[in-house]
Amino acid sequence: MRIATKLVIGSTAGMLFVLTVHAVLTFRREMAVIDADQRQEGQRLAHAMSLAVGLEWDQGGKEEALALLSDVARRDSDVQMRWVDSSTQRVPTGTQRVDSAAFSTSEVTGSSQDVLHSYALVRDSAHPLEPTRGAIQITQILSDEKIRVQESLKHLAFAVLIILLINAFLATLLSRQWVQEPVAKLLLMAEHVGNGEFHTRANLTRKSGREFADLGSALNVMAKRLQEIQSAREEEYQRRIASEAQLQHAERLITVGKLASGVAHEIGTPLNVITGHADMIRRDQVDALGAIKSAEVIGAHAGRITTIIKQLLGFSRRSGPQRTQVDLADLSKQASEAMLGAYADKRGVTLRADGLDKPRLAFLDATQMQQVVSNLVMNGIQAMDAGGVLTIDLHTAKASPPAGLALEAGEFLCLQVTDTGKGMSKEEQQHIFEPFFTTKDVGEGTGLGLSIAYGIVRDHGGWIEVDSELGKGTTFSMFVPRGMTA
Amino acid sequence: MTCTLHSRHEARPLNTSYLLIAEDDADLRNLLSLAFERAGYKVHQCANGVELVQRLQTLIEGKEDTKILGLVTDIRMPGITGLSILEGLHDLGVALPVFVITAFGSQEVHAQAARMGAAGCFDKPFDIESLVGAVVRAVGIH
């Protein structure tokens, strides 16, 4: 129930109660006053009549006296007078000879709802000790005054009803203005704040009621504080974004620097071989056969440079993943078997696979992911010069991404490729994903493979971890998000 | 090519003084060897850092009746870097003219090499004749 309705009902009920009590008390008092007046009047009249009738009785006898009574009764229409004879009926109670006066009147008033009887005894004044002659009965009918009081009470009740209706109407009207409107304003404000719109303010003046105005300004202060906190947080966020961007830029510069020095190293040697042989030919230091050999060497090293440049272009122009629903287990199985078929036999490497017989769905670019798996498997094979076991294990794992990656911890698909090869030092592990970093002999790799693989996996919202011990072997763990939402 | 060289070598008296060449790329190593042999040096090749260290040890310890005239080494090699070797020789107080070849060519590497007493530092790709010239100037013709 609305507060306003409660207030209206409460105030109306209160007024009704007070007015009703007042009316009842007034009515009772008025009635008592009228009653007392009538009694007094009746007694006086009875007394006067008993004296008059008594005198008439003494002088003219009973007949004269009763005639006087009926004569007076006929003239007065307001009251009825009756003779109660002691010889024919019992005189009403309370007529004992208590009073010693000649006309001692001991009257009994038996009042019903409408009439009031007053009695006065008539005695023989010469012989007061004789039994009474009888009594005068005065009967008064309920006076008009009482009826008027009742009427005015009815009017009062009607007036009360009207007042109550007006009160209810006004209270409803005013409560709407004084309670409902400010409450609605405050409610709207609270909803805005709840929705994070901290710039809204509740405009409540003293006119709306001090409590509401106070509540409104408290809400405004709260919203202002929240706004300040929000903007401070926003600024902090922007600062962090900016510093992260700077960091990324710096990292990019470092990467470019590393890439450049990597290119310089990788291309420097073949260029040197090419220019050296070219010089020998130019200076006529070789014979015809030597020139042919030199040309072959030049061609081979030019080819090496071409390969490096192609890989570099592949590294830089790599497009975003074209993802489809892929069974990573099947993909890993095919990729690893192909690599083992091509390279493992001559090195004496055997394959052990875990978890590849059960489908593991993920949202991946199949071609890119094949490249990654092939690369990891190839690295494992190349790390085992003297043969060994290459273990491929695919499972789901709860994992936390390494610090610095904007990824949430959760459940990932994890592909682990473990070799029993020569392993790497901590120093080597730190640089393993950098472009042009390689632990392989010349001609086995350019040092771009793992760097490209890492980039691809990062594009898929995952990452690669390395764990290695010198002389024991290395494990590469690739994490990619599982399921459709990847 | 080798025939040409051999004919030249035969014309000179053999000596037991060597020039050490350490480079992991076989083609470049051969090319350098050819150039130095053509200039009249006896050359010993090392394919990586480990081989170079072994060779240097035996020569320094005097186990062989030979003398190292100088060392031409690549900086980035599997096993051990040319700079580490330069540093080791420097620390041991071995006065050996060392020429380093680098692909990085950064100021830092050049400064480091100079600090460790390198006789010369060459950025790939370099002119082989100028390297030979520098070596000849430093160790003389044998």
pLDDT in tens, A338-372: 887 777 666 788 888 888 888 888 888 888 898 89
Residue ranges of the domains in chain B? Answer: 2-139
pLDDT band at A278 (very low <50, low <70, confident <90, very high): very high
CATH fold label, A3-151: Beta-Lactamase (3.30.450)
Answer yes or no: do A442 and B105 touch at CB < 8 A.
no
Predicted pLDDT at A105: 37
Predicted pLDDT at B7: 38
Tokens of A299: 């061609």
- Going by their DSSP bridges, the two strands A473-481 and B42-46 should be labelled as unpaired
Written as one string, the DSSP assignment of A16-85 is: HHHHHHHHHHHHHHHHHHHHHHHHHHHHHHHHHHHHHHHHHHHHHHHHHHHHHHHHHHHH-SSEEEEEEE
Predicted pLDDT at A120: 82
Predicted pLDDT at A97: 30
The class that CATH gives domain A318-481 is alpha beta
A219: pLDDT strictly greater than 50? yes
Answer yes or no: do B103 and A285 touch at CB < 8 A.
no
Nearest by CB to A276, from B78, B106, B128: name it. B128
CATH fold label, B2-139: Rossmann fold (3.40.50)
Answer yes or no: do B127 and A275 touch at CB < 8 A.
yes
Answer yes or no: do A441 and B28 touch at CB < 8 A.
no
pLDDT in tens, A119-170: 888 877 777 667 778 888 887 776 667 777 788 888 888 988 898 889 888 8
Per-chain mean pLDDT for chain A: 81
> Using CA atoms, how far apart are residues B45 and B72, in angstroms rounded to an integer?
10
Chain A contact for B35 (CB, 8 A cutoff): yes
B43: pLDDT strictly greater than 60? yes
Answer yes or no: do A441 and B24 touch at CB < 8 A.
yes
What is the interface pTM, i.e. ipTM, of the complex?
Answer: 0.79
Residue ranges of the domains in chain A? Answer: 3-151, 318-481
Nearest by CB to A441, from B78, B123, B124: name it. B78
Instruction: Name chain B contacts of A286, Cβ cutoff 8 Å.
Output: 1, 4
DSSP 3-state of A313:
helix
Q: Determine contact, residues A90/A82, Cβ cutoff 8 Å.
A: no
Answer yes or no: do A277 and B129 touch at CB < 8 A.
no
* Residue of chain A minimizing CA distance to B80: A439
Q: What would the mean pLDDT of A30-55 be, rounded to a whole number?
A: 84
> Using CA atoms, how far apart are residues A96 and B110, in angstroms rounded to an integer?
154
DSSP 3-state of A347:
helix
User: Looking at CA atoms only, how far is residue A328 from chain B in angstroms?
Assistant: 36
Predicted pLDDT at A315: 67
* Residue of chain B minimizing CA distance to A271: B125
> Using CA atoms, how far apart are residues A413 and A395, in angstroms rounded to an integer?
6
Q: What would the mean pLDDT of B93-119 be, rounded to a whole number?
A: 84
> Using CA atoms, how far apart are residues B65 and B58, in angstroms rounded to an integer?
10
Instruction: Name chain B contacts of A275, Cβ cutoff 8 Å.
Output: 125, 127-128
Chain A interface, Cβ < 8 Å to B: 261, 264-266, 268-277, 279-280, 285-287, 289-290, 293-294, 297, 300-301, 439, 441-442
Answer yes or no: do B103 and A279 touch at CB < 8 A.
no
- What does pTM read for this prediction? 0.46
A110: pLDDT strictly greater than 50? no
Answer yes or no: do A290 and B125 touch at CB < 8 A.
no
pLDDT in tens, B115-131: 888 999 998 889 999 99
Instruction: Name chain B contacts of A278, Cβ cutoff 8 Å.
Output: none
pLDDT band at A299 (very low <50, low <70, confident <90, very high): very high
Percent of chain A, pLDDT > 90? 17
b/e sequence B40-54, b meaning 16+ C-beta within 10 Å: ebbbbbbbbbebbbe
Predicted pLDDT at A478: 94
